[in-house]
Amino acid sequence: MAQPTSGVYSHQWATGEELRSQAASFHAKVVQLLNQLKEQLAEPCSIKLRDHQHLSYDLFAKAKGQKESYGYKLRGLYPRYQARQCELPVEHSDITYVTVTLPLSRALKQQLLHERSEDFSPLYQTLQDKFQQACAGKKLDRLAMVANGLTPLVRNSKWDQHDKNRELQKISFNPDCSEPQYLTFWQADNLVESAHFVLVASQEDNTEMGYGRFMNQVEDALRSFAKSIGFDGQHQNLTVRFFQHISYVL
């Protein structure tokens, strides 16, 4: 959770049951610990703190006969923490987004690649187009497709810019920007095992009731996308992850 600006990294992980409901309390304890640490350091320093949370589920769980459901309000981190007496600074950065991982199965590749070739752009371009078409008209216009073998790491552009390493593709979005943001990361000569799709919420999606409406729009778009590419939800998983991040400097 905590990232000192000096380049030394420290992580604190929450464990146990009721993680989401106890997140504000855990955050407050971490802040208290870091403030005590700062007091013991010989030189003054600033510490950048990041708080990351996510929920994961299979979009087609019901199609597989699973009857469990979870009632989350999906409120923004800032108002949720404030309501639990965990004070956060006004000057902070936050971002809420969804990722979905699509396995590029043999059947899907055969469907979208009509001839043997080392040029896989028809596969990626078709996925990209169908994804954007599924999101059109649903107020979802902060999108990314990552199909370069890397795992997407989404950040607010207030803090970070696009970058990558051997495992991660860092993607930066500005949730305050009203202009559409469409980002793609794939290579025509690189056939990967899965493609990742990212849908970022805007500030307008953070209503008093939370991100419920945003998630309804996201799920509608993903179901439409899955149908357009012939995805078999009864036998394959389409894992959706709802992320909430907040960061600031202590």
Neighbours of 187 (CB within 10 A): 13
Helix (H/G/I), strand (E/B), else coil: 207: strand
Structure tokens at 78: 């800032």
Structure tokens at 218: 């996201």
In one-letter notation, the amino acid at residue 84 is R
Residue 7 has pLDDT above 60, yes or no: no
Neighbours of 98 (CB within 10 A): 24
Distance separating alpha carbons of residues 34 and 229, to the nearest angstrom = 48
The residue that leads in pLDDT, 45 or 21, is: 45
Rounded to the nearest integer, the mean pLDDT of the chain is: 88
Instruction: Identify the pLDDT of residue 10.
Output: 58
Residue count (the chain): 250
pLDDT, one tens digit per residue, over 182-204 is 999 999 999 999 999 999 999 89
pLDDT, one tens digit per residue, over 146-192 is 999 999 999 888 666 667 788 999 999 988 888 899 999 999 999 99
Task: Find the range with the poorest average confidence among 15-24, 91-100, 147-156, 198-207.
Answer: 15-24
Nearest residue to 79 via CA among 137, 117, 23:
23
Answer whether 0.85 is exceeded by the pTM. yes
Close Cβ partners of 167 (under 8 Å, ≥ 6 residues apart): 150, 151
Beta strands at 168-173 and 151-156: parallel, antiparallel or unpaired: parallel
